[in-house]
Amino acid sequence: MTPDQLVRHFIKLIETKDLESALLLLDEKCEYDNVPMRKVFGPEGVREGLAPFLASCSEIDWEIHHQTSSGDATSGVVMNERTDRFKMGDRWVEVPLMGIFTIANGKITLWRDYFDMAMFQKAISG
Amino acid sequence: MTPDQLVRHFIKLIETKDLESALLLLDEKCEYDNVPMRKVFGPEGVREGLAPFLASCSEIDWEIHHQTSSGDATSGVVMNERTDRFKMGDRWVEVPLMGIFTIANGKITLWRDYFDMAMFQKAISG
């Protein structure tokens, strides 16, 4: 898979809530950084960070508006502009953001999302 | 210039505070969207939005950590991860962010920056 394909596949797995398959695409030392919140490390850190959140959503739809990349699966960079949507109860919560992923040896070594925390909190609280 | 070169040139002009030359790279109908703040339109809107801010800084240093792009000068997309630094008084203020630019017919038609407003306000207030 190209870096572009790898990130699209990763996001598709998150959307289907198949977290365990998604974690297999992460490097053992990967960094997952939600810039205004916190960062966690390794597939285990990502599991602990994401599992409770995914469990609170009945549906997930992360729309990729644009995605660009450079390099290859050995050493690549992918960036995207997205709207991440989460169905909580009977309501869709959405947050506009941009994300950057770095790839090394076919695995994701960095996943960093930039968004406004107040917009996210406002969306969550409705 | 490629879309990548055009955006790097635009940012270099901002860093040298040559706003008038930077505005010449913008499409007449361009959108400049600071996601958690507001959006303005056209070179005139960008001038009104940026000129007072640039005037309040003695130095500007926008470091591009990563930049990826697709397309060409006719129709292109550029994304970057940056740390935007502004020297205000005797102090450097910095904000981590990602930006997306779309290019059409050799001009920038969209410039949208994603960042956390609270982090920016905290950096400004010191």
From the CA of A105, how many Å to the nearest CA of chain B? 19
The pairs formed by B34-41 with CB atoms below 8 angstroms and a separation of 24 or more are B34/B113, B34/B115, B35/A96, B35/A116, B35/A119, B35/B112, B35/B113, B35/B114, B35/B115, B36/A116, B36/A118, B36/A119, B36/B115, B36/B116, B36/B117, B37/B117
**Model pLDDT, residue B105:** 97
The vertex-B91 CA angle with B89 and B96, nearest 5°, equals 125
pLDDT tens column, B2-56: 999 999 999 999 999 999 999 999 999 999 999 999 999 999 999 999 999 999 9
B114/A118 Cβ within 8 A = no
Of the candidates B40, B4, B11, B93, the residue with the CA atom closest to the CA atom of residue A68: B4
pLDDT band at B121 (very low <50, low <70, confident <90, very high): very high
- The mean pLDDT of B65-82, rounded to a whole number, is 98
Q: What is the ipTM of this complex?
A: 0.96
pTM: 0.97
**pLDDT at A126 exceeding the cut of 90:** no
Domains parsed from chain B with CATH numbers: 3-125 (3.10.450.50)
pLDDT at A64: 98
The torsion of the CA quartet B44, B46, B50, B55, rounded to 10 degrees, works out to: -30
Contacts with A100 from chain B: Cβ below 8 Å: 66, 81, 98
What distance in Å separates residue A91's CA from the closest CA in chain B? 22
CB contact under 8 A, B79 and A77: no
Task: Indicate if the pLDDT at residue B126 is higher than 90.
Answer: no
To the nearest whole Å, the CA of B118 is away from the closest chain A CA by 8
Average pLDDT, chain A: 97
pLDDT tens digits along A47-104 = 999 999 999 999 999 999 999 999 999 999 999 999 999 999 999 999 999 999 999 9
